[in-house]
Structure 1
Amino acid sequence: MFTVNLAIMIPFIAALIIPLVHKKVSRSYIGWVVFIVPAALFVYLASFIPSMAEGNTIVHTWNWIPSIGINFTSYLDGLSMIFGLLITGVGALVVIYSIYYLDHDEMLYHFYVYLLIFMGGMLGVVFSDNIMVLYLFWEMTSISSFLLIAFWYHRKQSRYGAQKSFLITVGGGFAMLAGFIMLYVMTGTFSIREIIASVDDISAHALFIPAMALVLLGAFTKSAQFPFHIWLPDAMEAPTPVSAYLHSATMVKAGIYLVARFTPVFGGGEIWFWIITGVGFITMIWASFNAIRQTDLKALLAYSTVSQLGLIMSLFGMGSAALYFGYSAESVVYTQATFAALFHLVNHSTFKGALFMVIGIVDHEVGTRDIRRLGGLISFMPISFTITLIGSFSMAGVPLFNGFLSKEMFLTAVLNISKLNIFSLENIGAMLPVIAWVASVFTFVYSMIIVFKTFFGKYKEEKLEHQADEPKMGMLIPPIILAVLVVVIFFFPNILGNYVLSPAMSSIYPGFGPNVDLGVEIEQWHGFNTELWMTIGIIITGIVLYLLLKYWKGIFRLFPRRFSFNRLYDNALLFIENRTTNITNMYMTGYLRDYLTYIFLFFIGAAGITLIYTGAFTFDVSNDVPVSMFELIMVVIMLGAGISILFVKSRLAAVLLYGVLGFAIAVFFVIFRAPDLALTQLVVETITTVLFLACFYFLPEWKKEEHDGRTKMTNIIISVGTGLVFILIALGVQHGQLFESISRYFEDAYELAGGMNIVNAILGDFRAFDTMLEVFVLVIAGMGVFSLIKLKSRKGGRKIEDQ
């Protein structure tokens, strides 16, 4: 039976198949083969839309680690449906776009493998009910996005952007993991549904607020919220299909999904409300302001994406105020902010995806994205201009485009929330509409920059690398489809609202029940209300500011880049790198003797202090077996050999004395009636001694300081201290046995594991998992050695350059 779990795994399965068949599939067709995966998944998920509209949910579980409550459980409801459709639908369009955008001499197979892994990771994030499984897929998106951003790894900026996004998002992911663990401690379950059901029992728990903060930290880093937004502009060094997919429709929406999913858990309180709303508003206005100063079209779109994400995030924060009043009729009106967030989430994916693609087309056709070198392209690229006009005007909130509808709902939500008398809104609530209006003006200005600076004005052929022209129709089809959706949603918004958005509202506010209609009737005309006058003011002010841009753009000099968060990140990274390098150079001397000294000193200090502090060094030897004369003789021989090693001046003598110690241990095994261990010790010691002698010629000469008295005394103290601590531990363990020896359990190896040899049974059965991991480590080490040998022997190879 085909399940949602299997739908999540299909991209991973396809990613595994591509390397096996890539030599049999032409580069011209590999993209079309990959296209089948997101297209089929989109159709499969779309088939559940009627069921979701009726309030149904679908749950599938594959047992994974049931003993600790970690199972692969997928949960398909209205909220996850929206994100699933965006991931697969936009993913299918991006694959088509990639087929025509990427050259055939690119590493296409790598690209599509990374893309499929990311797609599967995102589906796993939005469909997982188990928070540990969600975290697994969450970090998988970070790793795959790192590979996609660094796809053009020969570019220095691509590597820098990939590293930056990875460090910030993975760091936030670790924080989120800690928050998830706290939720488990509070609820005793990893299931999101069960956590939501137990929210009344955990809201007063001491870990509730820390868990909230850590989960939000993960969400903010992933969705590029202030001040973690700095990774997104640098990630624009990725190929345009990656930017259109990851940074407009999917990856950056993962944090928004997390906030929406956990609103029933943490929502309703002042802390949740102000953190999300405040961070959203700051992100929105700061990013929209900085977008205007950009001269690279993709950088401009990156900041515009950050701003739009801040808008959506603030709406989810404001919508959480509905839970303050409980699931009552009074609070339904405040849920409209969440409805607006979901609506703008979809709208943003359409117009921003189209804009990223068309900017990629401009770069692909004329060889630059620099606004200062562009202009007059409307005569050469009329289709691209039309798509840009639709996408930009929708982003600016101009009528006849879907962005206008959701922007109006945003203004309505801000006005409604500002009138509340909770969460100190009576004091500062009036500022929210002002901030929203100013940020919208900036949005209008940079939207006009995209259209008019690129397609109007003088055509600067001498500044372009190629003659401007429309690309192949295959590259235009995906943005055309998205642009058409922008217009269609404006005229028929309630189809989306009734069948997709309303079921998601029920997922975010499960306490209202199926009899409460959380949907909103979306209308294109509301009359001359406050929101419309605000929009008119935005358009008029935006036009004036755009026409006077050269006169006031100097204000950006008040915010020099050397004091930016990017510079703070770079300096912090440089400081850490320098300090760690200095510390490493202090102890990484290149001599094994020094490394052993560190290890033994740490052991003496840690174990010795623990023994003294706990009083565990007491022992009683009165009941021990008496020591025979032969054993004393062997002890004296070993002591003599060990002490002599410290004073010899020849490596050959040291190797031979070391061999005496090893063979003496084998003799002890014979005395203690352990012939198997004695044989093993003899073989190991013989091989070790032979290897020492074989490598004798290559050993470095002893330094002069190795012969001085200070060095020898240090070696004696460390040797005696280590031996003494080991003896005290052994005697203490023998004297203070609190439990029955585990050896008696292994004595039943034949009955428990069917093994005649107890050692083999322990390695192969009782601790088979540990043995498997050891073998796995050896395999990785072997692969590394083999790769280094192959790289050294390779004559050619692609040269990595810093561009």
Structure 2
Amino acid sequence: MHLLIVAILIPFLAAALIPLLYRRLGNLNLGWFVLTVPIILFTYFASQIPMIAGNETITASLDWIPSLGINFVAYLDGLSLILALLITGMGSLVTLYSIYYLSPTDSLPHFYAYLLLFMGAMLGVVLSDNLLVLYVFWELTSISSFLLIAFWYHRKNSRSGAQKSLLITVAGGFAMLAGFLMLHSMTGTFSVREIAVYIMQYTDHALFYPALFLVLLGAFTKSAQFPFHIWLPDAMEAPTPVSAYLHSATMVKAGIYLVARFTPIFGGTAAWFWTITIVGLITLFWGSFNAIRQTDLKALLAYSTISQLGLIMSLFGMGSAALYFDIADAAAIYGFATFAALFHLINHSTFKGLLFMVVGIVDHQVGTRDVRRLGGLAKFLPVTMVFAVVGSFSMAGLPLFNGFLSKEMFLTATVNVMSMPAFGADIIGWLIPVVAWTASVLTFVYSMIIVFQTFFGKFDSKRLDRAPVEPNIGMLISPAILSIMILGLFFFPNVLADNLLAPAAAGIVPGVDAAVTIGPWHGFNPEFFMTVGIIVLGAALYLLLPRWGKVYNLLPSNWSFNNLYTKTLSFTEGTSNRLTSTYMTGHLPHYFSYIFGFFVLLAGATLVFTGALNLDSSNDQPASIYEIMLILVMAGAAIAILFAKSRLSAILLNGVLGFSIAIFFVLFRAPDLALTQLVIETVTTVLFLVCFNYLPEWRKEYTPRRTKVLNAIIAIAGGLTVTLIALSVNSVDLFDSVSSYFEDSYELAGGNNIVNAILGDFRAFDTMLEVLVLFIAGIGVFSLIRHRVGKEADSDENQ
């Protein structure tokens, strides 16, 4: 098995070992074992950088369902390598952080098992080339993130936040699956790479644009794009290591990865360009606008994450326009946005992961994240304050930090696309830099809130739950590494650009200049003046926040997508409860009426309206006198059951039916089936008698005449429908008989008896499951009998 596939499977195998290792290592040492998994994987993926930098790729395949074209194909190129390094690198730092952050009283085996499960699922998403395999891992990320968000399940907000994230992301996943199936229907392949090669032949296909929008729906829900962003703030109820991992570096990047991966397929179209760009810019603005009003630091970071994800998404949208142009220079100009998106993807993971860890430290050390209760913590948490400055200033896009470089590239991309001679961008494209600049100003404001309202200003110990003190040095290691990376990427960005960003960008948008040089100074251009305006106006708005912040009070509190989600969910639950209560009466005969009534209507309508009803008896053999007698006996027994006065009589009459069927098998020269039927009928009859012996005394209930008539109609209609289906099937041969195949049972299965060969070899799994079902039923019957006998014994003792 190739190492690439092994790398995906390792986290799952490690998760399976957690329960065994927990018994030996205990809570305190379990995290150190888990830490080795992402470190080993990060080392492996880092070792592939030279090969990927040389524009090579790695492919590995494992057969799964080859007959359907579904194989486990792993594909490592520049794009997937960037995500794999983020998943394993941030996974290492988060795991180390969690060792010191989580309490020994927490269920650490569950936490680390969920974390490893999520890590493996994310690796599967970014490395899968097969659409259906990608979808399996995609939904697995939703499930594992649900478990992580609801880790503190005793909290109501944790449970509701996990439920909301699951409902929204899984719904988007279903839409994405439909898009995948449409792509397969068009191209005849599940391979993403092959679809990208053949898709130009199908751009006029009726399914092309439906597939495009369905894939985007999956990406937007996973990456919390407007209006599906509402799940991300509620997901902040998860432990801080989860927020730092899922909601800054990994899970929310899955949707962005999907857009990047499918840009070679759908890019170059106006629908792809405008949908992604507009949704991204709206998300960027709305997230930054709402972040300022938050009083909980994690909620602020949640909305800032939404905003930054919108920024990256809009860049991928703008960069996709490069595929529209045949001219290399034009592709390089507009494809520059894709390069910027990849750079900010990495930068965002560093500064947002750092900020989540900082907020976690503040909450861990002082007992609150409410900015109204914080202030003046710099003298008590000086190291944490330095980390907060590094992360916040990078997010604000200030010089000396990596966020400044990618923010400048973002502004450059918006200016470039403003006058693009395609998709009408030269007419309304001026709105793109305006929205981008406005959102960047708001980003500056909320970045300053994190630093100055938390670590500076007036300190009041009465507002804190405990005295502030710097945490254990172990909790500071991970944020320290991220801080060094933020500063290092500012001074040495082209090491990253040459080895990772260039091959990844070229794989998304061919023609992008692989020699893009990242630097802090590009002269007095529009981007420079936009940055100056961001800093000046952003500083003024922060200082004047108490005055203009009242604008948030003007917005009706019930006019929100959160409220819409809550009311929709409440309406759906209420309607379903009312609908269910109309037919779930708790009365078993009602349920049988629904089942058989629906069967009669569906099967009967199919017989009548499709012309399937065919009663041709010309080829039937005449019934013998013995068969007629047996039929009359069975009919009489069946009718007599309806008028039985006791359970014993009903059981015996039911036995007459079973034994009569056994006699039929004898007449039809099937002794094996006859013997089986005799044994089963004898055993079930005895079991019935044993069970009914412990039931309360039988009293015949009064049944209204109307109910009896309705039951009789349904019973007769059901029996008639089954009879007509059997006669129609017997009258028409749609397929060749399989009997000739089973006649070779000796050669195929080594069995002289065809029936035994069918049961034991050809239908081995089916037979095994039947035996299993009978075994489970037997255990159930035995348990009920023991329970009944036990209660009677206790009752006798009490008397």
Aligned to 1:71: 71
8 Å contact from structure 1 (residues 394, 404) kept in 2: yes
Q: Which of 541, 549, 559 is equivalent to 2:545?
A: 549
Matched residue SS, 2:735: coil
Q: CA deviation at 1:780?
A: 10
Cα distance, 1:777–1:356 mapped onto 2, change above 3 Å? farther
Letter in 2 for 1:698: L
The residue number in structure 2 matching 1:326 is: 326
Q: Which string of whole-angstrom CA distances, capped at 9 and with x for unpartnered residues, describes residues 272-313 of structure 1?
A: 000000100010101111111111111110010000000000
Listed one character per residue, the Cα deviations across residues 304-348 of structure 1 (whole Å, up to 9, x for unaligned) are 000000000000000011111136232211111111101100100
Give 5+ residue unaligned stretches, structure 1. Answer: 789-803
Name which of structure 1's ranges 552-561 and 260-269 shifts more when overlaid on structure 2. Answer: 552-561
The equivalences for 1:248-647 within 5 A come to 248-326=248-326, 328-510=328-510, 512=511, 517-647=513-643
Whole-Å separation in 2 of the counterparts to 1:655 and 1:715: 21
Measure how far apart 1:223 and its partner are.
0.5
SS of residue matched to 2:372: helix
Distance 1:186 1:64 in 2: 22
Question: 1:647 Cα shift?
Answer: 3.8
Shift of 1:162: 1.0
Match of 2:653 in 1: 657
- How big is the shift at 1:658? 2.6
In structure 2, relative to structure 1, the CA distance for the partners of 1:417 and 1:58 (3 Å cut) is same
In 2, Cα distance between equivalents of 1:271 and 1:362: 44
Contact 1:705 1:711 in 2 (8 A): no
Q: What does residue 31 of structure 1 align with?
A: 31
The 1:703–1:710 alpha-carbon spacing in structure 2 relative to 1, beyond 3 Å, is farther
Match of 2:100 in 1: 100
Residues 684/777 of structure 1: CA separation in 2 closer, same or farther (3 Å cut)? closer
SS of 2:74's equivalent in the other structure is strand
The 1:581–1:188 alpha-carbon spacing in structure 2 relative to 1, beyond 3 Å, is: same
In structure 2, the CA distance between the partners of 1:616 and 1:758, relative to structure 1 (3 Å rule), is: same
Tell me: CA distance 1:535–1:155, structure 2 relative to 1, closer, same or farther (3 Å).
same
Question: For residues 120 and 140 of structure 1, what CA distance do their matches in structure 2 show?
Answer: 9
Q: Is the partner of 2:73 in helix, strand or coil?
A: strand
Alpha-carbon contact 1:647-1:712 (below 8 Å) kept: no
Determine the C-alpha separation between the residues in 2 that align with 1:540 and 1:713: 85
The answer for the alignment partner of 1:166 in structure 2 is: 166
Alignment-mate amino acid for residue 585 of structure 1: S
Aligned residue number for residue 698 of structure 1: 695
Cα distance between partner residues in 2 of 1:340 and 1:125? 23
Task: Look up the equivalent residue of 1:222 and give its one-letter code.
Answer: K
The 1-side partners of 2:643 and 2:469 are apart by 83
Q: Distance in 1 between matches of 2:755 and 2:468?
A: 74
CA-CA distance at 1:107 after TM superposition: 1.2
RMSD between aligned residues: 2.3
How far apart, in 1, do the equivalents of 2:141 and 2:755 lie?
42
Query: Following the alignment from structure 1 to structure 2, what is the Cα–Cα distance between the partners of residues 91 and 75?
Result: 21
Change (3 A) 1:369 1:774: farther
Q: How does 1:34-113 map to 2 (within 5 A)?
A: 34-113=34-113
Please, which moves more after superposition, 252-261 or 719-728? 719-728
Contact 1:149 1:235 in 2 (8 A): yes
What is the identity percentage for the equivalent residue pairs of Structure 1 and Structure 2?
A: 64
Matches of 2:595 and 2:194, distance apart in 1: 47
Q: Which moved more, 1:417-426 or 1:627-636?
A: 627-636
In 2: Cα distance, 1:124 partner to 1:199 partner: 24
Greater displacement, 298-307 / 755-764 = 755-764
Alpha-carbon distance, 1:785 to partner: 12
Return closer, same or farther for 1:702/1:233 CA change in 2, 3 Å cut-off. Answer: farther
Q: How many residues in Structure 1 have an aligned counterpart in Structure 2?
A: 783
Partners in 2 of 1:726 and 1:185 — Cα distance? 37
Return the letter of the residue paired with 2:303: Y
1:39-72 Cα shifts (integer Å, max 9, x gaps): 1111111112122111111111122222222111
Please tell me whether the aligned partners of residues 224 and 252 of structure 2 are also in contact (alpha carbons under 8 angstroms): yes
Q: Assess, with a 3 A threshold, how the Cα gap between structure 1 residues 703 and 482 changes in structure 2: closer, same or farther.
A: farther
Per the alignment, residue 795 of structure 1 pairs with none
Distance in 1 between the 2:627 and 2:780 partners?
46
Paired with 1:654 and 1:576, the residues of 2 have a C-alpha distance of 45
Q: Is the 8 A contact 1:391 1:483 kept in 2?
A: yes
Q: CA deviation at 1:779?
A: 9.8
Q: Map Cα deviations across residues 52-93 of structure 1 (whole Å, 9 max, x no partner).
A: 111111111122222222111111111111111111111100
**1:215 corresponding residue in structure 2:** 215
Q: CA deviation at 1:246?
A: 0.6
1:362-407 CA-to-partner distances (Å, cap 9, x unmatched) read 1111111111111111110001111001100110111111111111
Other structure's SS at 2:72 match: strand
User: Contact 2:672 / 2:755 at 8 angstroms: preserved in 1?
Assistant: no
Q: Normalising to structure 1: TM-score of the pair?
A: 0.94
- 1: distance between equivalents of 2:247 and 2:781? 37
Q: Is the 8 A contact 1:376 1:457 kept in 2?
A: yes
> Is the 2:338–2:509 contact (alpha carbons within 8 Å) kept by the matching residues of 1?
no
CA distance in 1, matches of 2:514, 2:696: 78
Give the counterpart of 1:678 among 662, 669, 674.
Answer: 674
Matched position secondary structure for 1:235: helix
**1:780–1:393 Cα change, 3 Å:** farther
State the Cα distance separating 1:240 from its structure 2 match. 0.5
User: For the residues of structure 1 that align with 2:315 and 2:69, how far apart are their CA atoms?
Assistant: 34
Is this contact kept in 1: 2:377–2:459, CA < 8 A? yes
Change (3 A) 1:106 1:273: same
Q: Which moved more, 1:90-99 or 1:459-468?
A: 459-468
2:193 aligned partner: 193
Q: Would the aligned equivalents of 1:505 and 1:519 in 2 still touch at CA under 8 Å?
A: no
**Mean Cα deviation higher: 297-306 or 455-464:** 455-464
Kindly state the Cα deviation for residue 756 of structure 1 after the two structures are TM-superposed: 4.0
Alpha-carbon distance in 2 for matches of 1:99, 1:779? 46
Which residue in 2 is equivalent to 1:792? none
Task: Report if the CA contact (8 A) 1:646-1:716 is conserved.
Answer: no
Change (3 A) 1:251 1:776: farther
Q: Does the Cα contact within 8 Å between 1:354 and 1:483 map onto a contact in 2?
A: yes
- SS of corresponding position for 1:42: helix
Contact 2:646–2:698 (Cα < 8 Å) also in 1: no
Amino acid at match of 2:397: G
Contact 1:646 1:712 in 2 (8 A): no
Deviates more, 1:740-749 or 1:274-283: 740-749
Q: Which amino acid in structure 2 is aligned with residue 68 of structure 1?
A: L
Say whether the 8 Å CA contact 1:335–1:518 is kept in structure 2. no
Aligned mates of 2:215, 2:356 — CA distance in 1: 30
Farther off after superposition, 113-122 or 760-769: 760-769
**Offset of 1:455 from its aligned partner?**
0.9
Runs of 5+ consecutive residues of structure 2 not aligned to the other structure? 785-799
Deviates more, 1:235-244 or 1:595-604: 595-604
Tell me the alpha carbon deviations over residues 703-749 of structure 1, each in whole angstroms, 9 at most, x when there is no partner: 7442x322222222122111111211111111111332223322322
Q: Is the 2:322–2:509 contact (alpha carbons within 8 Å) kept by the matching residues of 1? A: no
Distance 2:95 2:646 in 1: 68
Whether the 8 Å contact between 1:80 and 1:127 is mirrored in structure 2 is yes
3-state DSSP of counterpart to 2:522: coil
